Amino acid sequence: MSQSPPPAPPRLTVFARGSYAEALRIGEILRKETVGGALLVAAAVIALVWANSPASASYFALRDFKFGYEPWHLELSLGAWAADGLLAIFFFLVGLELKREFVAGDLRQLNKSVVPVAAAAGGVLVPAVIYALVNISSPETIRGWAIPTATDIAFAVAVLAIIGSHLPSALRIFLLTLAVVDDLLAISIIAIFYSSDIQVVPLLLALLPLGLYLLLAQKFRRFFGTHDAAAWLILLPLGIITWALVHASGIHATVAGVLLGFAVPVIRSRAGGGPDAGPGLAEIFEHRFRPISAGVAVPVFAFFSAGVAVGGWDGLGSAFTDPVAVGIVLALVLGKPAGILGTTWLLTKATTARLDSSFKWIDVFGVSLLAGIGFTVSLLVAELSFGHGSVHDDHAKVGILTASLLAALLAATVLLTRNRQYRRAEEEEKIDSDHDGIPDVYQAKRSS
């Protein structure tokens, strides 16, 4: 008897549509990020105009104004408070979103997570290599290799929401997933490569409030989900103490925000009705705190970080003779799409993965260009690499702003054309559907 051949392994579809519930959740996040992206851009523009106006001295005096308690290493400038303090709120939400994706979202399934994870890794590796090659002869500037590795989720999603109203939803989900994984890689880079003079005692002490925070959030998740004030009065003080101790330890304080986000439970407990009873505490916290992040924390950080005195055309010329700015522009505008698109293409050739039939490679190329918008995390890494207000830091910011603008314009050029084509296709389908329905109506009347 001949044996039947073994069943073929299931084929992986690249950027396949996620579950309906996941698509609705992602759509809600996209709408919120649009507002945050607009505020982010507005804050950056105001900072640039002020920093290059006759009143520029007042901007830098405001940014560099210090306050805080020095014995706890908390006498910081307003710019440092924005980068170390307010940005921790943004990273707290990143931690919530990462845990949500990998515990209850589509990324918990290997066949749906392997492509965006691999593409994100390619989108980090290739820009870092390009920047390093441009700066290979300068030990002083090569330490900024991680600046062009991160995608600004709020900025990129805001651009996509404006120009991509009719693009396939799978592309939108892919961009958000890519940016979330990108953030995880960026956080890891900050924690590993941009922490110095680690102080063991504060780091160990930080485990105490973090552990208590974890215990309370897990054990009383229903209580914190139904009583808004409880999180502010109980969990917030523990979070602030954890943040202060992590900051004192020498590890960048934004890492504390991620750890606190990871500590929040995603799924409801059995006492609370289980997974099917409604959103878990992580989703509730995300709903509560996202307006603070998108409306206050990130725009204020952008305001204090994006303000760089360009110095007119001579200043721009000086910036673009610095390999720091050149490396950043090449890495974000060319390296990001090359890494993301190239990795995805290789997966389709080396594995059973295939591109979803609802769109074309040109769509993936457009989204890959959009991922070259590096802003929030890139500005942070630039400051960590070269020191706040240094010449290389200023040139890095010029490079980041220039590259982000170029990436947005190039992506808009590609995606606007594709968006028009998808809109025409939808209109034609609607006309065909209406036309096909007319005979059915007449047939129904004849039958009656």
SS3 65: coil
pLDDT at 269: 59
pLDDT at 70: 82
pLDDT at 442: 42
pLDDT at 422: 82
pLDDT at 447: 44
Nearest to 332 by CA among 134, 158, 172, 193: 134
Q: How far is CA 367 from CA 132, 401, 424, in A?
A: 24, 19, 20
Phi, psi of 85 (to 5 degrees): -100, -65
Q: How far is CA 305 from CA 33, 86, 103, 221, 265, in A?
A: 20, 12, 34, 36, 33
Q: Tokens 């979202």 sit at which residue? A: 105
Positions of the chain with pLDDT under 70: 1-34, 106-107, 110-112, 165, 268-278, 311-312, 315, 356-358, 429, 432-448
pLDDT at 445: 43
Q: Within a 10 A sphere around the Cβ of 48, how many other Cβ atoms? A: 20
